[in-house]
Amino acid sequence: MNRLIINADDFGLNKKVNEAIMAAMDSDICMDTTMLVNFEDSEVAAKLAISLKRIENIGIHLNLTEGVPLTKKIRNESLFCDANGLFNNKKTKRIYQLTKSEKLAVHEEITSQIQLCRKFGIPISHADSHNHIHEEPGLFSVIINTLKIEKIPFLRLTNNLGKTAYIKKLYRNTYNSVLKNKGFVATDYFGSTSDLANYNKRIAEDSITELMIHPGEIIDNQIHDVYAKENLSEVLPEIIQHYKLTSYSQMKCNKFVHEENRTQIYTDLAD
Protein backbone atom coordinates (compact mmCIF):
# COMPACT_ATOMS: atom_id res chain seq x y z
CA MET A 1 0.00 0.00 0.00
CA ASN A 2 1.28 3.47 -0.86
CA ARG A 3 2.19 5.75 2.01
CA LEU A 4 0.64 9.08 2.91
CA ILE A 5 1.84 12.01 5.00
CA ILE A 6 -0.73 14.58 6.07
CA ASN A 7 0.92 17.76 7.32
CA ALA A 8 -0.95 20.55 9.09
CA ASP A 9 0.68 23.89 8.29
CA ASP A 10 0.78 27.00 10.52
CA PHE A 11 1.08 25.46 14.00
CA GLY A 12 1.80 28.39 16.31
CA LEU A 13 -0.16 30.96 14.30
CA ASN A 14 -2.90 31.44 16.90
CA LYS A 15 -4.86 29.60 19.57
CA LYS A 16 -7.67 28.40 17.28
CA VAL A 17 -5.22 26.97 14.75
CA ASN A 18 -3.16 25.30 17.49
CA GLU A 19 -6.22 23.63 18.98
CA ALA A 20 -7.54 22.52 15.59
CA ILE A 21 -4.20 20.94 14.63
CA MET A 22 -3.92 19.05 17.91
CA ALA A 23 -7.53 17.89 17.49
CA ALA A 24 -6.68 16.58 14.01
CA MET A 25 -3.78 14.61 15.49
CA ASP A 26 -6.04 13.32 18.28
CA SER A 27 -8.49 12.14 15.62
CA ASP A 28 -5.76 10.20 13.73
CA ILE A 29 -6.39 12.11 10.52
CA CYS A 30 -3.04 13.87 10.68
CA MET A 31 0.37 12.86 12.05
CA ASP A 32 2.59 15.83 11.16
CA THR A 33 2.61 19.58 11.55
CA THR A 34 5.03 22.42 10.86
CA MET A 35 5.51 25.29 13.24
CA LEU A 36 5.74 29.05 12.88
CA VAL A 37 7.95 30.48 15.61
CA ASN A 38 7.56 34.26 15.25
CA PHE A 39 3.98 34.65 16.47
CA GLU A 40 2.57 35.39 19.90
CA ASP A 41 1.13 31.89 20.33
CA SER A 42 4.18 30.00 19.03
CA GLU A 43 5.74 29.13 22.38
CA VAL A 44 2.29 28.23 23.75
CA ALA A 45 1.89 25.84 20.81
CA ALA A 46 5.24 24.20 21.58
CA LYS A 47 4.28 23.72 25.23
CA LEU A 48 0.98 22.17 24.12
CA ALA A 49 2.79 19.74 21.81
CA ILE A 50 5.25 18.83 24.56
CA SER A 51 2.42 18.16 27.03
CA LEU A 52 0.77 15.86 24.47
CA LYS A 53 4.08 14.12 23.61
CA ARG A 54 3.94 15.19 19.96
CA ILE A 55 7.33 16.87 19.50
CA GLU A 56 8.76 14.15 17.26
CA ASN A 57 6.13 14.90 14.61
CA ILE A 58 6.76 18.63 14.34
CA GLY A 59 8.80 20.35 11.65
CA ILE A 60 9.48 24.01 11.04
CA HIS A 61 7.39 26.32 8.87
CA LEU A 62 10.06 28.76 7.67
CA ASN A 63 8.63 32.25 7.42
CA LEU A 64 9.77 35.26 5.39
CA THR A 65 6.35 36.65 4.51
CA GLU A 66 4.27 37.46 7.61
CA GLY A 67 4.69 38.75 11.16
CA VAL A 68 7.70 40.13 13.00
CA PRO A 69 11.22 38.97 12.02
CA LEU A 70 13.44 37.57 14.77
CA THR A 71 16.59 39.27 13.49
CA LYS A 72 17.64 42.82 12.59
CA LYS A 73 19.33 42.60 9.19
CA ILE A 74 16.30 41.39 7.30
CA ARG A 75 14.21 44.33 8.58
CA ASN A 76 16.31 46.59 6.37
CA GLU A 77 15.73 44.47 3.25
CA SER A 78 12.80 45.90 1.29
CA LEU A 79 12.38 42.64 -0.63
CA PHE A 80 11.10 41.06 2.57
CA CYS A 81 10.08 43.81 5.01
CA ASP A 82 8.15 47.06 4.97
CA ALA A 83 9.17 50.41 6.44
CA ASN A 84 8.08 49.26 9.89
CA GLY A 85 10.38 46.22 9.77
CA LEU A 86 7.54 43.72 9.39
CA PHE A 87 7.49 40.88 6.88
CA ASN A 88 5.56 42.07 3.87
CA ASN A 89 6.51 39.85 0.92
CA LYS A 90 3.31 39.25 -1.06
CA LYS A 91 5.03 37.00 -3.61
CA THR A 92 3.72 39.04 -6.50
CA LYS A 93 6.71 38.01 -8.59
CA ARG A 94 9.43 35.39 -8.59
CA ILE A 95 12.58 35.93 -6.54
CA TYR A 96 15.29 34.94 -9.01
CA GLN A 97 18.35 36.12 -7.14
CA LEU A 98 19.44 37.80 -3.93
CA THR A 99 22.06 40.41 -3.22
CA LYS A 100 24.85 39.52 -0.82
CA SER A 101 23.18 41.43 2.02
CA GLU A 102 19.84 39.73 1.32
CA LYS A 103 21.48 36.29 1.41
CA LEU A 104 23.13 37.04 4.74
CA ALA A 105 19.89 38.40 6.15
CA VAL A 106 17.84 35.38 5.04
CA HIS A 107 20.41 32.94 6.41
CA GLU A 108 20.48 34.77 9.74
CA GLU A 109 16.69 34.89 9.99
CA ILE A 110 15.91 31.26 9.15
CA THR A 111 18.80 30.08 11.34
CA SER A 112 17.29 32.04 14.23
CA GLN A 113 13.86 30.55 13.54
CA ILE A 114 15.29 27.03 13.60
CA GLN A 115 17.23 27.67 16.79
CA LEU A 116 14.22 29.22 18.53
CA CYS A 117 12.08 26.24 17.55
CA ARG A 118 14.63 23.95 19.17
CA LYS A 119 14.82 26.23 22.20
CA PHE A 120 11.07 25.72 22.55
CA GLY A 121 11.84 21.99 22.83
CA ILE A 122 11.04 20.87 19.26
CA PRO A 123 13.77 18.73 17.62
CA ILE A 124 12.44 19.42 14.06
CA SER A 125 11.75 16.46 11.79
CA HIS A 126 11.30 18.33 8.49
CA ALA A 127 10.83 21.74 6.91
CA ASP A 128 8.47 23.62 4.63
CA SER A 129 7.54 27.30 4.46
CA HIS A 130 4.82 29.88 4.95
CA ASN A 131 3.26 30.87 1.61
CA HIS A 132 5.63 28.37 -0.09
CA ILE A 133 8.47 30.90 0.00
CA HIS A 134 11.05 28.08 -0.15
CA GLU A 135 10.02 27.45 -3.78
CA GLU A 136 11.56 30.72 -4.95
CA PRO A 137 14.67 30.02 -7.09
CA GLY A 138 16.67 32.82 -5.51
CA LEU A 139 16.16 31.38 -2.03
CA PHE A 140 16.87 27.73 -2.84
CA SER A 141 20.61 27.62 -2.14
CA VAL A 142 20.38 29.71 1.05
CA ILE A 143 17.65 27.51 2.50
CA ILE A 144 19.31 24.23 1.50
CA ASN A 145 22.69 25.28 2.91
CA THR A 146 21.08 26.39 6.16
CA LEU A 147 19.16 23.12 6.50
CA LYS A 148 22.41 21.22 5.95
CA ILE A 149 24.16 23.19 8.67
CA GLU A 150 21.23 22.68 11.04
CA LYS A 151 20.92 18.97 10.12
CA ILE A 152 17.28 19.10 9.07
CA PRO A 153 16.85 16.16 6.68
CA PHE A 154 13.76 16.93 4.58
CA LEU A 155 12.26 19.88 2.68
CA ARG A 156 8.82 19.86 1.07
CA LEU A 157 8.44 19.38 -2.69
CA THR A 158 6.69 21.89 -4.89
CA ASN A 159 3.16 20.94 -5.94
CA ASN A 160 3.27 18.18 -8.57
CA LEU A 161 -0.33 16.97 -8.18
CA GLY A 162 -2.27 20.08 -9.15
CA LYS A 163 -2.93 21.31 -12.67
CA THR A 164 -0.77 24.23 -13.75
CA ALA A 165 0.61 26.02 -16.79
CA TYR A 166 3.36 24.30 -18.77
CA ILE A 167 6.14 26.75 -17.80
CA LYS A 168 5.27 26.52 -14.12
CA LYS A 169 5.09 22.73 -14.34
CA LEU A 170 8.52 22.65 -15.96
CA TYR A 171 9.94 24.78 -13.15
CA ARG A 172 8.32 22.64 -10.47
CA ASN A 173 9.64 19.41 -11.98
CA THR A 174 13.12 20.90 -12.22
CA TYR A 175 12.98 22.17 -8.64
CA ASN A 176 11.85 18.78 -7.33
CA SER A 177 14.57 16.95 -9.27
CA VAL A 178 17.28 19.27 -7.91
CA LEU A 179 15.88 18.89 -4.39
CA LYS A 180 16.00 15.11 -4.81
CA ASN A 181 19.59 15.23 -6.05
CA LYS A 182 20.52 17.29 -3.00
CA GLY A 183 19.16 14.48 -0.79
CA PHE A 184 16.32 16.42 0.86
CA VAL A 185 13.36 14.57 -0.65
CA ALA A 186 11.26 12.15 1.38
CA THR A 187 8.13 12.07 -0.78
CA ASP A 188 7.18 11.62 -4.42
CA TYR A 189 4.06 13.74 -4.61
CA PHE A 190 2.84 16.88 -2.89
CA GLY A 191 -0.38 18.86 -3.08
CA SER A 192 -3.73 19.55 -1.45
CA THR A 193 -6.66 17.19 -0.90
CA SER A 194 -8.40 18.63 -3.97
CA ASP A 195 -5.21 18.25 -6.05
CA LEU A 196 -5.11 14.56 -5.16
CA ALA A 197 -8.82 14.10 -5.87
CA ASN A 198 -8.44 15.66 -9.32
CA TYR A 199 -5.09 14.09 -10.24
CA ASN A 200 -5.66 12.39 -13.60
CA LYS A 201 -2.66 10.06 -13.56
CA ARG A 202 -2.07 6.87 -11.62
CA ILE A 203 -0.15 7.28 -8.37
CA ALA A 204 3.00 5.21 -8.72
CA GLU A 205 3.39 2.04 -6.67
CA ASP A 206 5.58 2.16 -3.55
CA SER A 207 5.31 5.95 -3.53
CA ILE A 208 4.86 8.49 -0.75
CA THR A 209 2.45 11.41 -1.04
CA GLU A 210 2.30 14.47 1.20
CA LEU A 211 -0.96 16.40 1.58
CA MET A 212 -1.01 19.90 3.03
CA ILE A 213 -3.94 20.94 5.24
CA HIS A 214 -4.72 24.05 7.29
CA PRO A 215 -6.94 23.14 10.26
CA GLY A 216 -8.28 26.34 11.79
CA GLU A 217 -11.76 25.82 13.19
CA ILE A 218 -13.62 23.23 15.22
CA ILE A 219 -17.36 23.35 14.61
CA ASP A 220 -19.61 20.78 16.32
CA ASN A 221 -16.53 18.61 16.98
CA GLN A 222 -15.67 18.68 13.27
CA ILE A 223 -12.31 20.07 12.14
CA HIS A 224 -12.46 22.53 9.24
CA ASP A 225 -9.74 23.76 6.88
CA VAL A 226 -9.56 27.57 6.90
CA TYR A 227 -8.34 27.83 3.29
CA ALA A 228 -9.95 24.91 1.49
CA LYS A 229 -13.21 25.46 3.39
CA GLU A 230 -13.71 21.73 3.74
CA ASN A 231 -14.61 19.48 6.64
CA LEU A 232 -11.37 17.62 7.28
CA SER A 233 -13.11 15.22 9.67
CA GLU A 234 -15.08 13.93 6.66
CA VAL A 235 -12.63 14.37 3.79
CA LEU A 236 -9.45 12.89 5.26
CA PRO A 237 -10.79 9.49 6.46
CA GLU A 238 -12.02 8.87 2.90
CA ILE A 239 -8.50 9.48 1.58
CA ILE A 240 -6.62 7.68 4.34
CA GLN A 241 -8.41 4.38 3.77
CA HIS A 242 -6.53 3.99 0.47
CA TYR A 243 -3.07 4.60 1.98
CA LYS A 244 -0.85 3.71 4.90
CA LEU A 245 -0.54 6.84 7.03
CA THR A 246 3.06 7.66 7.95
CA SER A 247 5.12 10.63 9.13
CA TYR A 248 8.34 12.48 8.49
CA SER A 249 9.67 11.37 11.85
CA GLN A 250 9.28 7.73 10.83
CA MET A 251 11.21 8.44 7.65
CA LYS A 252 13.92 10.16 9.63
CA CYS A 253 14.28 7.12 11.88
CA ASN A 254 13.93 4.43 9.23
CA LYS A 255 15.52 6.25 6.28
CA PHE A 256 13.20 4.40 3.91
CA VAL A 257 13.96 6.43 0.81
CA HIS A 258 13.79 3.87 -2.01
CA GLU A 259 16.13 5.54 -4.47
CA GLU A 260 15.63 3.22 -7.44
CA ASN A 261 11.84 3.45 -7.26
CA ARG A 262 11.95 7.17 -6.59
CA THR A 263 14.17 7.82 -9.62
CA GLN A 264 11.63 6.08 -11.84
CA ILE A 265 8.74 7.99 -10.27
CA TYR A 266 10.43 11.34 -10.91
CA THR A 267 11.15 10.31 -14.50
CA ASP A 268 7.46 9.53 -15.00
CA LEU A 269 6.34 12.81 -13.38
CA ALA A 270 8.60 14.84 -15.67
CA ASP A 271 7.01 13.39 -18.82
Residues 6+ apart with CB under 8 A from 7: 30, 32, 33, 34, 59, 128, 156, 210, 211, 212, 213, 248
pLDDT at position 90 is 80
Whether the Cβ atoms of residue 207 and residue 174 lie closer than 8 Å to each other = no
What gap in Å lies between CA 176 and CA 87, rounded to an integer? 27
pLDDT at position 262 is 53
| Residues 117-166: tens digit of each pLDDT | 999 999 999 999 999 999 999 999 999 999 999 999 999 999 999 999 99
266 has pLDDT over 60: no
Name 128's bridge partners: 61
216 has pLDDT over 90: yes
What gap in Å lies between CA 88 and CA 79, rounded to an integer? 8
| Torsion sign across C-alpha atoms 5, 222, 12, 117 | negative
pLDDT at position 256 is 45
| Residues 78-112: tens digit of each pLDDT | 999 999 999 998 877 889 999 999 999 999 999 99
- Helix-strand-coil percent breakdown of the chain, rounded to 5? 40, 15, 40
- What CATH number is associated with residue 169? 3.20.20.370
Mean pLDDT over all residues of the chain?
Answer: 93
Structural domain including 213 reads: 3-270
| Residues 227-261: tens digit of each pLDDT | 999 999 999 999 999 999 999 998 876 654 444 55
Distance of CA 107 to the CA centre of its chain: 18
pLDDT at position 100 is 98
13 has pLDDT over 90: yes
263 has pLDDT over 70: no
Structure confidence at residue 198 as a pLDDT band (50, 70, 90): very high
48 has pLDDT over 90: yes
If one counts the domains in the chain, the total is 1
Residues 6+ apart with CB under 8 A from 73: 101, 104, 105, 108, 109
Report how far apart the first and last C-alpha atoms of the chain are (Å, whole number): 24
Name 211's bridge partners: 6, 191
